[in-house]
Amino acid sequence: MEKQTIIKKLVDERGVEDLVVVIGAVDPEVAQVTAETVTLGDPSFAGPLAGVSLRLPVYHILESEVKNDIPQDVYEEQAGFMEIVADTETISRKFKEIREKITQV
C-alpha cells in the first residue's frame, strides 16, 4: 500500500515517461501481483492505485534485461543471493506476459 502511494506520487510529480518500475519480490506470485498493480491497477481496489492504470513498463530485478544494465559486482552483491533462491524462468515468463498485456490494453 505504501509502495503504491510512492509510485502514484512519482507519477503525479514526473509523469509516466522515463519511469520504469523494477520489482524485487522473489515469490513469482507476489511479484506478479505487485507488477500488475503498478501497471494495470490495484486488483484489490484498496490502495491509491485502485482503478488507476498507469501502464508503466515493469521489469523484475532478476530478468536479464535489468541484470545486463547493472555492473556485475554490484549485481552480485545486491541480487546474487536472491538469483539463486528465485525461480527466474517463471518470473521472466510472467513479466513478459504482463508487458505484452500492457501493450494490448
Partner 1 sequence: MPDPIIKTCSYILAHAPNFVRYGSKPMREIADDPDAVLPSIESHLRTFQEAVAYAPNQVYIGNLHPDRLNDMEQPWYGHPLEGASRCGPYGESMPEDELLALMKLADDFDLVWLDKETAPILSGALRSNPLWKDSDLKKVDAGMERGRIDERIQHHGSLPLYRDGRVVGCVHRHHEQDDTLKAHVLMENLLAKTSGALALTHLLNNAKLRPDEIDFILNCSEEAVGDRYNRGGGGLAKAIGEMCGCAHATGCDIKAFCVGPLYAILHAAALVKAGLFQRVAVVGGGSMAKLGMKFKGHVSKGMPILEDVLGGLAFLVTGNDGESPIIRLDSIGRHDIGSGSSQQSIMESLVLKPLDKLGKKVTEVDKYATELQNPEVTVPAGSGNVPLTNYRMIGALGVLRKELKREEIDRFVMDHGMPGFSPTQGHIPAAVPFLGHAIDAIRKGEMENAMFIARGSLFLGRMTQLSDGLSFLLEKNPGKA
Can you give the binding site for partner 1, defined by CB under 8 A?
25-27, 29-30, 33-34, 43-44, 46, 81-82, 84-86
**Closer to partner 1 by Cβ: residue 21 or 86:** 86
**Closer to partner 1 by Cβ: residue 2 or 12:** 2
Q: How far is the CB of 46 from partner 1 (least distance, A)?
A: 8
What angle (nearest 5°) sits at the alpha carbon of residue 15, between those of residues 13 and 99? Answer: 135
Q: How far is the CB of 25 from partner 1 (least distance, A)?
A: 7
Q: What are the helix (H) ranges across the chain?
A: 2-14, 28-40, 64-67, 72-85, 88-104
Contact 91, 63 (CB under 8 A): yes
81's grid cell: 543471493
**Closer to partner 1 by Cβ: residue 14 or 78:** 78
β-pairing, 58-60 with 21-23?
A: parallel
**Closer to partner 1 by Cβ: residue 28 or 59:** 28
